[in-house]
Amino acid sequence: MNQHKNDEIDLIYFFSKLKKTLRGWVKLFFKIIDHLIRNWKIISVLIVLGIILGYFAQQNYKPAQKATALIRVNFDAVDYVYSEIDLLNEKVKENDFIFFTNIGLKGDSLEINEIEIKPQINLNEIIAEYDINDRKLEGILRNLDFDDNDIKVHETFISEYRYHKLEFSLSNSANNETINKVIDYINNNEILEELKDEVIKDYKNQLANNKNSIDQINSVIDTYQTNESLASPSDQVFVVDKNFSLHVLFERKLELQKLNQGLNKLLVLAKDIVVIVNKPNIIEENEGLSGIKMIYYPLLFVLFFLLISFLRYSYSYLRVIANSES
């Protein structure tokens, strides 16, 4: 019984406190409204000044920009690319104008605010690189974290991905040439340039060898088609010797043609260390209300006036308390 009464007392106390708090907020709201009404002339002047200042500020105002680029990283240079992006961000924080001038960007102002790079996760791309029973593949899959259907890849395995996304946060003076200069800077590595030349040379040699093999197969097929004595009784399978048949040659020819298609694609994609896959479009950042100066400045002035009024009121209130205690 006593417990029930105590619960009722607690509820009554809670609701009385809640009522008192709400009443206090309502009083505060009406005090602010009353203060605004009593000072409407000052507020009107502040709003007009804010609109005028906002109008002139808007004339020369250009918002910050952003862009996204999908890149392919070749020659196992992912770690190198990530380290160069980190270096660029460090140079931005240091306001190293000389560094950016040396890589071809404007020296009087920074065109880059930040660059973020993320791997484009594709498990099929990793699996295609290894045999299904490869222990290294097993290790990669073991180090993947599955959390809410999102795959988080350990940093150790970022280098396994060829495609990555660059997100640029740019100043209002940046343009597409800014992005190109960044890519040119990353691609300017003498050691990787030598590796690139060797890899491209190897691709071209493979293409030439495969083409030569295809020509030889075509020659053999033409010989079979004109030499009826080599035809089998079924007229469906042509025997080269005891170990080969014509359909095996056709299969090998198709395999070589497929390999050459892949090599031609690699020659296009491997022309540099970093290749931009898409054409990045630079768009303006959505800065919300702060980007609309004719609204932003009047609101800022009024809020500043209210802050000053609040500080004056607090000072007067505390002064009364101090005097009453003395």
Sign of the dihedral defined by the CA atoms of residues 287, 291, 295, 296, in that order: positive
H-only helix segments in 60-164: 78-93, 97-102, 123-129, 135-142
- In terms of residues, how long is the chain? 326
Which pLDDT value is given to residue 234?
A: 45
**Across residues 12-35, what is the average pLDDT?**
79
Q: What is the pLDDT of residue 320?
A: 75
Secondary structure element (H or E) that encloses residue 209, with its range: helix 190-226
Token couple for 3 = 């417990």
Token output for 79? 């770690």
Residue-averaged pLDDT of the chain: 78
pLDDT for residue 39: 85
pLDDT > 70? residue 42: yes
pLDDT at 262: 87
Higher per-residue pLDDT: 130 or 75: 75
Residue 269 to residues 160, 162, 178, 191, 273: CA-CA distances in angstroms? 17, 11, 22, 19, 9
Q: What is the pLDDT of residue 108?
A: 57
How sure is the predictor about 156, in pLDDT bands with cuts at 50, 70 and 90?
A: low
Q: Using pLDDT thresholds of 50, 70 and 90, give the confidence band for residue 149.
A: very low
Q: Is the pLDDT of residue 110 over 50?
A: yes
Contact 74, 275 (CB under 8 A): yes
pLDDT for the residue 318: 77
Q: What percent of the chain has pLDDT over 90?
A: 13
| Predicted pLDDT at 56 | 81
Residue ranges covered by each domain of the chain: 196-269
DSSP code string of 151-167: EEE-GGGGGG-SEEEEE
What is the reported pLDDT for 22?
84
Residue 199, pLDDT above cutoff 60: yes
Rounded CA separation 172/61 (Å): 9
Tens-place pLDDT, residues 216-270: 888 887 777 676 444 444 443 444 454 556 778 888 889 988 999 988 888 888 8
pLDDT band for position 121 (50/70/90)? confident
Average pLDDT over residues 81-89: 93
Whether the full predicted model's pTM is greater than 0.85, yes or no, is no
pLDDT given for residue 315 in this prediction: 78
Crossing angle (nearest 10°) for helices 40-59 and 2-38: 70
Angle at the Cα of 82 from the Cα atoms of 80 and 87, rounded to 5 degrees? 95
Q: What is the pLDDT of residues 265-290, one digit of tens each?
A: 888 888 888 999 888 888 877 766 66
CA distance 133 to 122: 19
Q: Is the pLDDT of residue 142 over 70?
A: no
**Number of helical (H) and strand (E) elements in the chain, helices listed first:** 10, 7
pLDDT at 209: 92
What pLDDT, on a 0 to 100 scale, did the predictor assign at position 135?
61
Give pLDDT, residue 70. 93
Judged by DSSP in three states, 245 sits in strand
295: tokens are 């609204």
Q: What is the pLDDT of residue 120?
A: 84
Q: Please measure the distance between the N-terminal and C-terminal CA atoms of the chain and give it in whole angstroms.
A: 49
- CB neighbours (10 Å) of residue 84? 21
Angle (CA) 112-284-71 rounded to 5° is 55
> What are the C-alpha distances in Å from 278 to residues 163, 275, 283?
11, 9, 15
Q: What is the mean pLDDT of residues 139-158?
A: 55
Instruction: Please report which confidence band the pLDDT of residue 126 belongs to, taking 50, 70 and 90 as the band edges.
Output: low
Of 233, 293, 303, which Cα lies nearest the Cα of 55? 293
